[in-house]
Amino acid sequence: MKQIQWFPGHMQKARRQIEEKLPVIDIVYEIRDARIPESSRNPLLMEIVKGKPILVILNKSDLADPMKTKEWIQKYEQSGMHCIELNSLTGNVFSQVNQKTQIILQGLKEKEEKKGMTARPFRAMVIGIPNVGKSQFINNMAGKNKVKTGNLPGVTKTQSFIKTKGDLLLLDNPGVLWPKFEDESIGFHLALLGSIKDDILPLDEVAIFGIRYLLNHYPNRLKERYGIDADIETPILEIFDQIGINRGCRLSGGDIDYDRVINLFLYDIRNSKLGRITIESIEDVSV
Ligand SMILES: Nc1nc2c(ncn2[C@@H]2O[C@H](COP(=O)(O)OP(=O)(O)OP(=O)(O)O)[C@@H](O)[C@H]2O)c(=O)[nH]1
Ligand SMILES: [Mg+2]
């Protein structure tokens, strides 16, 4: 995990692109993954957007633990941030986001009215790390598939405004920021949920991290999915063996195919086949 670094060149370029657009923007929608609200943020965002209001969107809330999502929102709101949860795949995203935006920008609206300016749609910019659902969110807000979506990190490349379903304008291409790997656990969180390209990762370590997390925090999930009776004391190889046996992951000679076991487990956890999971708790993090 040590070789994954914060790329200064990449970061500078992303920062410049965001800064160029800021003068025409009223609000920033910072998309995060509700399953990892802290690991999926960029710690420089506040500094980069220089005082523009930020709405933190905990996206993919349909995959996250609903209780934990509520706790995160409460914590963020208590610390003075604006935060909502969203499901950009099927949710009525526009009305939720618009309602909150109107509240946040009420002061700006009144100020412009006092100056005698005519009412205008607010303009928003979507920012987030790879794979949090920025394009999916924009598509949902726009009501049409105007932006390409895909489940591989780094699909979006270029930027202009598009109309949403109501009185809001969005930059059609989001600002992509890289997360900061301040400690090893952030890398593991991102890898476990597929936000870092698989080819730069030790997938066996990522899977072991995920299995341990489940055994500690969601002890029944492995049993429900793979019929395994394991606890935190069970040797990890035994758990891999049992998953392999349960799911028929075998090499031609009959031995367990550990690569397949690992890939299957990672597919399952990334696609909520192991149930709704949040892998960061408010107690673990100081915000
Ligand atoms: N379950 C669920 N899946 C979502 C949600 N939002 C996005 N996705 C899925 O997450 C994957 C990534 O979504 P994108 O919209 O491509 O993410 P992105 O942030 O634009 O990614 P890059 O362009 O690579 O930076 C896709 O497979 C989406 O279908 C959501 O709210 N819930
Ligand atoms: Mg995208």
Q: pLDDT by residue (tens digit) across 184-196?
A: 888 899 999 988 7
| CB 250 within 8 Å of CB 225 | no
CB proximity list for 142: less than 8 A, separation 6 or greater: 162, 163, 164, 165, 170, 172
Given a contact cutoff of 8 angstroms between Cβ atoms, the answer to whether 108 and 131 are in contact is no
Mean pLDDT along residues 31-47: 93
Which structure tokens are listed for 81?
């941030």
Whole-number Å distance, alpha carbon 156 to ligand 1 midpoint, is 11
Closest ligand 1 atom to Cα of 176? 25
**Residue 105: strand pairing partners:** none
pLDDT, tens only, 42-77: 888 999 998 899 999 999 999 999 999 999 999 999
- Domains within the chain, CATH numbers bracketed: 8-176 (3.40.50.300), 203-284 (1.10.1580.10)
Task: Say what the pTM is.
Answer: 0.91
What is the per-residue pLDDT for 157? 45
Under a CB-based contact definition with an 8 Å cutoff, are residues 265 and 210 in contact? yes
How far, in Å, from the CA of 16 to the mean position of ligand 2?
18
Which ligand places an atom closest to the C-alpha of 93?
A: 1
Residue 7 has pLDDT above 70, yes or no: no
| Residue ID of nearest Cα to ligand 1 atom 27 | 151
Q: Which of 31, 131, 170, 273, when mutated, tests ligand 1's pocket best, judged by the most ligand atoms within 8 Å of its CB?
A: 131
What is the whole-number distance in angstroms between the Cα of residue 100 and the centre of ligand 1?
A: 22
pLDDT band at 1 (very low <50, low <70, confident <90, very high): very low
- pLDDT per residue as tens digits for the range 204-238: 999 999 999 999 999 999 999 999 999 999 999 99
Distance 130 CA to ligand 2 centre (A): 7
Q: What is the pLDDT of residues 111-152, one digit of tens each?
A: 999 999 998 999 999 999 989 999 999 999 988 656 555 555
Lining residues, ligand 1, CB within 6 Å: 59-60, 62-63, 87-89, 128, 130-136, 149-151, 153-156, 176
